[in-house]
Structure 1
Amino acid sequence: MTLGRSAGGVRLQDVADLAGVSMKTVSNVVHDYEHVSEAMRDKVQAAIDALGYRPNLTARRLATGKTGMIALAIPEIDQFYFAELGRHIGEEAARYGYRILVEQTLNDVEAERAVIRDRDEGLVDGVIFQPARIDTLEIARLRPGTPLVLLGEAARPVNTDHVMIDNTRAARDGVEMLLGRGRRRIAFLATVHGDITESTHLRLLGYQEALLAAGVGLDAHLVLQSEGFGFEDGVRAISSAIAAGVEFDAVLCRDDLFAMAALRGLEIAGRRVPEDVAVLGWDDTAVARYSTPALSSVSPDKQALASAAFALLEDRMQGYDGSGRHEIVAHSIIERATT
């Protein structure tokens, strides 16, 4: 294979001939070396665009030891939050000149181990990973050789970079907002049977802390139970509470899907939103913005999560070998019609 030939058949030499420069100059532009003038970069880029030159990734790897690819490993690609976060990470990757390979682990511990264990195959230059089941000590023991940044609440080894929001503080902020609107019987939807995620526990903790700080007693009946994470599970959970005579005037939901389930269950029961019951979702996904009524939601700064994760990963890929850095990014409460 000729190192200067792209997958489309256009050679590096062809670009150099058209631009009237050396192959070395074209290579410097392709690999984004900083010591190239803007005028020269524009001249070479115009030739690249005119010929449709695409660098040969295999040749690039042989020449630089880099693939130009990043792995993004998330539990579920069709979950609203992860779909939107993935888009932001993809945009950050493009800004840094990388492409993204998406892996779906489906909360399977063996799949999560493989995300770290199998990275020595040299397919990607770095990994951004949101684990659900694999724990902190196991990640530390596996000691991935490929640069790694973790997202979420599940695992936080001290030697690994990690980015998250403060879920407990965010839940407190949400409950405080509801209390400020005069709500006093605030339900939590929901704890889930067999839940392995740390996020639910942190959000429940923040919910409880806010109620106690406000002098509102805790009522175990207001912590609703669900058999699963699905929409129908959420509808059944809130409908069962209503049928059992549990009185509440607001609901803090663990995610926007459960908030949509709350809206449906309240509609079935003839409860008005927000007049009778206020509903606050979590994640501020598209479903919140386009629901009827429009859903208030706890909003993690997904752009900031993506930017922070990629900045840390880029440092690692450029050779940083220090201790793990742990960053907390901002959140806000977006109020819409349901509160």
Structure 2
Amino acid sequence: MPTGRVGGRVRLQDVADLAGVSMKTVSNVVRGYEHISPAMRDKVQAAISELGYRPNLTARRLATGKTGMIALAIPELDQLYFAEIARLIGEEAGRQGYRILVEQTLNDVEAERAVIRDREEGLVDGVIFQPARIDTLEIARLRPETPLVLLGEAARPLTTDHVMIDNTAAARDGVEVLVRSGRRRIAFLGSVRGDLTESTRLRLLGYQEALLAAGIPLDPALVLQTGGFSVEDGVAAVVAAVAGGVEFDAILCRDDQFAMAAIRGLARAGREVPRDVAVLGWDDTAIARHSTPAVSSVSPDKESLARTALRLLVDRMDGYDGVGRHEIVPHVVVERATT
């Protein structure tokens, strides 16, 4: 066992002594430097495991200017889509030798400004951030010093890297699936009163474009208004539409939560899914995959989104200083029992 430890803490030198390599080699392995032979990496990792070595983040920061930490800022942790994105980004970060700090902004504009402006500076090497309230111009004006990659549709500064799916095209694809199955009165759930997010706007646009392309006239009554984003709000909107005499044989929902609301609301109204009304959700989360009936859903490639976001962020952290890169990840429409 190496000697000379300070206060029981295992030092980088201890690992180097046990592995029979230089401190520089141990440091390269810890930092995930790729130009290390597999045999050498295994040798150092075995010494790290045997000694229980844990990198000192403060020392690493002083020596390299990096902490090995990445922040992930998302609106709500209890939304399944964001929970799944957080898990996938955390897994991808771990594979690349980084750890993540996850925080939720709860759709609060001041919390979002803090993420951009100063909250993470000095604590992490980079930030992946899905804004909901702060806009494109404000992000550009704040000019964050910490490398930043944005997710979603709310803000897309030309100077900042950005990853998203094509929401308009995805909505068109969803409506086309419903039209091909013979549906002609297709509703959209929903437009939340007083809070039309950019993602909802783009999905509503694709919905309308697909209807027009199929020769189906637009009917404003089929865009169902809700009082909020909860399941109860969605259920109320569907029940009210049926009670008000609005006829429809399919619903494209802005997310899987609203799809569950649609199924519940249709059951209350005595309508059977999919015989009377087909239901198509969005995000392809666990609630869609494992519910009864299993819910058809527009499925963004969340794994690709996580990989792309990490790739762009690592480029920035490694010194890339070019113009913002805007990348679209794929999507598919997954059909299950509700269509």
Q: Describe the shift of the 1:6–1:253 C-alpha distance in structure 2 as closer, same or farther (beyond 3 A).
A: farther
Cα contact 2:149–2:313 (8 A) shared by 1:
yes
Deviations 1:133-191 (A, max 9, x none): 11101000000011000010010000000010000000000000000000000010110
Q: What letter matches 1:198 in structure 2?
A: E
Within 5 A, what are the aligned runs for 1:152-231? 152-231=152-231
Identity %: 80
Q: Describe the shift of the 1:316–1:119 C-alpha distance in structure 2 as closer, same or farther (beyond 3 A).
A: farther
More displaced 10-residue stretch of structure 1: 46-55 or 7-16: 7-16
Q: Describe the shift of the 1:7–1:98 C-alpha distance in structure 2 as closer, same or farther (beyond 3 A).
A: farther
User: Scaled by the length of structure 1, what TM-score is found?
Assistant: 0.96
Aligned to 2:26: 26
- What is the Cα deviation at residue 28 of structure 1? 3.0
Q: What letter matches 1:298 in structure 2?
A: V
Aligned to 1:248: 248
Q: Describe the shift of the 1:46–1:186 C-alpha distance in structure 2 as closer, same or farther (beyond 3 A).
A: same
**In structure 2, how many angstroms separate the alpha carbons of the residues matched to 1:114 and 1:128?**
14
**In structure 2, how many angstroms separate the alpha carbons of the residues matched to 1:108 and 1:26?**
43
- What is the Cα deviation at residue 8 of structure 1? 6.9
Deviations 1:73-99 (A, max 9, x none): 100011011000111111111111110
Partner secondary structure for residue 113 of structure 1: helix
Aligned to 2:88: 88
Deviations 1:186-217 (A, max 9, x none): 01011001214200111111111100111101
Q: What letter matches 1:131 in structure 2?
A: P
Aligned to 1:122: 122
**In structure 1, how many angstroms separate the alpha carbons of the residues matched to 2:186 and 2:119?**
45
**In structure 2, how many angstroms separate the alpha carbons of the residues matched to 1:133 and 1:67?**
29
**In structure 2, how many angstroms separate the alpha carbons of the residues matched to 1:6 and 1:232?**
59
- What is the Cα deviation at residue 39 of structure 1? 2.2
**In structure 2, how many angstroms separate the alpha carbons of the residues matched to 1:58 and 1:39?**
29
User: Scaled by the length of structure 2, what TM-score is found?
Assistant: 0.96
Q: What letter matches 1:290 in structure 2?
A: H
- What is the Cα deviation at residue 51 of structure 1? 1.2
Gaps of 5+ in 1: none
**In structure 2, how many angstroms separate the alpha carbons of the residues matched to 1:141 and 1:210?**
37
**In structure 1, how many angstroms separate the alpha carbons of the residues matched to 2:163 and 2:34?**
29
Aligned to 2:267: 267
- Report the RMSD for the aligned CA atoms in angstroms: 1.6
**In structure 2, how many angstroms separate the alpha carbons of the residues matched to 1:7 and 1:86?**
36
Aligned to 1:111: 111
